[in-house]
A and B are shown apart, each in its own frame.
Chain A
Amino acid sequence: MGLLSIIRKIKRKEKEMRILMVGLDNSGKTTIVLKINGEDTSVISPTLGFNIKTIKYQKYSLNVWDVGGQKTIRSYWRNYFEQTDGLVWVVDSSDVRRLDDCRAELHNLLKEERLSGASLLIFANKQDIQGALKPAEIAKVLNLDAMDKTRHWKIVGCSAYTGEGLLEGFDWLVQDIASRIYLLE
């Protein structure tokens, strides 16, 4: 991160973090955001564009951008890269057939210069489904070890259905971002 962007971040609204949620369609992004925010998750339609939620988390205010993952609108993802502090990549761990697709899209995203400073949280979602791959297996299939060594990342198994793992993931993400952004306090 250049000095200029550090200054810009400090000048931003107090304790604000910008989080971008992406991943293939049907992976559970919207369900995760609503669950974390304590909202009803029983009626969710596929996301046609994007949603934004401001979530108070510990002493921080998270601006969570939840962008639709259907093929047609993946090209819009790039509109949201600017000033992203944390990237959450959500995987449907039971959708074995599309994991190749999932890996290709993720590695494509990681080439993006504007995201090069963002902490990366990978949610291996839908762990409640029998036959879902474990986080370690997902990490292997997605080839996470091949990522640039300077990238801060973590993979966490979760279920948006039961809530399991969600806070573990967000706790890590928020701590990691805080230790980078607010280090000049």
Chain B
Amino acid sequence: MAEEGPPPSTQTLDPIAQRKHAAMLERISNHHQSRLHASAARRSASAASPSFDSVAAFLDRFSELRRSIESDLARCRGAAPAAAADICSAPAIKPELEKVSASISDLERLLAENSYFLPSYEVRSSLKAISDLKEALEVANSELLPRKKFSFRNKAPKKESATLVKEIDERKVPDEEKSNLAVVRDTPGFRNEKGAVLVKKFRASEEDEGDFTLANLESCKVYLKGRFRALFVHRLKDCNVFAGPVLGSILIEEASNCVFMLASHQIRIHQATVADFYLRVRSRPIIEDCSGVRFAPYRLFYEGIDEELRVSGLGVETENWANVDDFKWLRAVQSPNWCLIPEDERLGSVNISEVTEQDNDN
């Protein structure tokens, strides 16, 4: 199952597939055209969807709507004393609750439509606010609406889905045990090494296509020269990793006491403790379940790296190495889980020109 010949690429497609592909590209560009028209039209009819000049203006509007929903909800609950949750009071309450539900949806939509320009903290806290409103509405629904009226409609589909769930469960259990991962093959990478120097040079022929994995390494020095497409890092302890430009994303899970020097379009760091990251990155780096991680700019050198960075879209310093978002930190103050590396503690520029694959001692 493992070796099935080369993966499909645009060059090796048969003529029919090629024609389809060309048609698709055309449709995508048509899409783009009509989208431009649409957005021009939208601009001239700006009243249709409110856009905001500033984050503050958005936040004002958001909290205004939120307060009004909260008070509507409070009014519903006030109007129907708990004991009166019977059929008589329900007709009046139900449309009210439906109105609240619609307002919450509108609020959610407002946030979604503006989430591209809002700072991450504001998106996260607004998201939480909406989630709280929904919960409050659910509570109100279950307190205020008589169940009887509902049960008639709800029961039939519920029964059906209950058996449906059971069927899935029954089939899933044995499959989970034998775990279909048998089809899975090892992708290129360095794995299960201790105290080794590991060097990989990506050749021009493979640089645009390959992904690479570093897994279960302890006390290793890793050098990856050349361009490649994606990097997966899993379980590294006491390691130093220096890498050339990655065209796609880098995903790091479980690293402790390590130094990384990386350039990439996207960097995601999960479960790292005590690690230094020297980054050049086009988007905002993110951390989740991390502590003691620190950041500084990328300072790697070997022959040809400037050109490699340039053609990878990483030629320019975006300063994003310092714009870290912590998924586990919802407050406006600085997350305690990460910081910048003080300048006097930073590594100078690191020159790995001399390192070659002959240095591999694994």
Residues of chain A whose beta carbon lies under 8 Å from any beta carbon of chain B: 2, 4, 25-26, 35-39, 42-46, 48-52, 56, 65, 70-73, 76, 79, 94-97, 99-100, 107, 110-111, 113, 116, 126-134, 137, 140-141, 143, 146-148, 161-164, 166-168
**Is B345 at the interface (CB under 8 A from chain A)?**
no
- Tell me if B157 and A113 are in contact (CB < 8 A): yes
Rounded to whole angstroms, the CA-CA distance of A97 and B230 in the bound complex is 14
- Tell me if B21 and A164 are in contact (CB < 8 A): yes
Q: Find the B residue at minimum CB distance from A110.
A: B168
- Tell me if B232 and A76 are in contact (CB < 8 A): no
Q: Given A50-B127, A51-B112, A94-B187, do A37 and B31 touch, yes or no (CB 8 Å)?
A: yes
- Tell me if B112 and A50 are in contact (CB < 8 A): yes
Chain B residues within an 8 Å CB radius of A39 = 32, 35
- Tell me if A42 and B251 are in contact (CB < 8 A): no
Rounded to whole angstroms, the CA-CA distance of A50 and B284 in the bound complex is 16
What total of chain B residues lie within 8 Å of the partner, measured CB to CB?
Answer: 81
Q: Mark B174-191, 1 if CB is under 8 A from A, else 0.
A: 010001110111011000
Rounded to whole angstroms, the CA-CA distance of A127 and B21 in the bound complex is 14
Rounded to whole angstroms, the CA-CA distance of A25 and B14 in the bound complex is 33
Q: Given A76-B127, A163-B25, A167-B27, do A127 and B7 touch, yes or no (CB 8 Å)?
A: yes
Q: Mark B192-205, 1 if CB is under 8 A from A, else 0.
A: 00000000000000
Stretch at the interface among B70-78, B84-92, B113-121: B113-121
Chain B residues within an 8 Å CB radius of A99 = 181, 184
- Tell me if B8 and A56 are in contact (CB < 8 A): no
Rounded to whole angstroms, the CA-CA distance of A128 and B230 in the bound complex is 11
- Tell me if B230 and A141 are in contact (CB < 8 A): no
Stretch at the interface among B59-67, B158-166, B332-340, B352-360: B158-166
Chain B, range 2-41, C-beta contacts under 8 Å to A:
4, 7-10, 20-21, 24-25, 27-29, 31-35, 38
**Is B299 at the interface (CB under 8 A from chain A)?**
no
Q: Find the B residue at minimum CB distance from A143.
A: B175
Q: Given A2-B157, A49-B127, do A43 and B112 touch, yes or no (CB 8 Å)?
A: no
- Tell me if B7 and A132 are in contact (CB < 8 A): yes
Task: From B34, B168, B230, B328, give the contact of A147 (CB < 8 A).
Answer: B168
The minimal Cβ–Cβ distance linking B328 to chain A, given in whole angstroms, is 6
Rounded to whole angstroms, the CA-CA distance of A73 and B283 in the bound complex is 19
Task: From A45, A49, A70, A166, give the contact of B266 (CB < 8 A).
Answer: A45
- Tell me if B232 and A113 are in contact (CB < 8 A): no
**Is B140 at the interface (CB under 8 A from chain A)?**
no
Residues of chain B whose beta carbon lies under 8 Å from any beta carbon of chain A: 1, 4, 7-10, 20-21, 24-25, 27-29, 31-35, 38, 108-109, 111-113, 115-116, 120, 123-124, 126-127, 130-131, 134, 153, 156-158, 161, 164-165, 167-168, 171-172, 175, 179-181, 183-185, 187-188, 206, 209-211, 213, 215, 229-230, 232, 234, 248-249, 251, 265-266, 268, 270, 282-284, 286, 288-289, 313, 325, 327-328
- Tell me if B229 and A111 are in contact (CB < 8 A): no
Rounded to whole angstroms, the CA-CA distance of A46 and B281 in the bound complex is 12
The minimal Cβ–Cβ distance linking A153 to chain B, given in whole angstroms, is 13
The minimal Cβ–Cβ distance linking A2 to chain B, given in whole angstroms, is 6
- Tell me if B210 and A73 are in contact (CB < 8 A): no
- Tell me if A113 and B175 are in contact (CB < 8 A): no
Rounded to whole angstroms, the CA-CA distance of A45 and B268 in the bound complex is 10
Chain A residues within an 8 Å CB radius of B153 = 2, 4
Q: Which 5 A-B pairs have the closest CB atoms?
A: A38-B32, A52-B112, A45-B283, A130-B209, A49-B123
The minimal Cβ–Cβ distance linking A128 to chain B, given in whole angstroms, is 7
- Tell me if A26 and B268 are in contact (CB < 8 A): yes
Q: Find the A residue at minimum CB distance from B29.
A: A38
The minimal Cβ–Cβ distance linking A24 to chain B, given in whole angstroms, is 10
The minimal Cβ–Cβ distance linking B290 to chain A, given in whole angstroms, is 12
The minimal Cβ–Cβ distance linking B12 to chain A, given in whole angstroms, is 12
The minimal Cβ–Cβ distance linking A55 to chain B, given in whole angstroms, is 8
Chain B residues within an 8 Å CB radius of A147 = 168
- Tell me if A148 and B4 are in contact (CB < 8 A): no
- Tell me if B31 and A36 are in contact (CB < 8 A): yes
Q: Find the B residue at minimum CB distance from A41.
A: B265
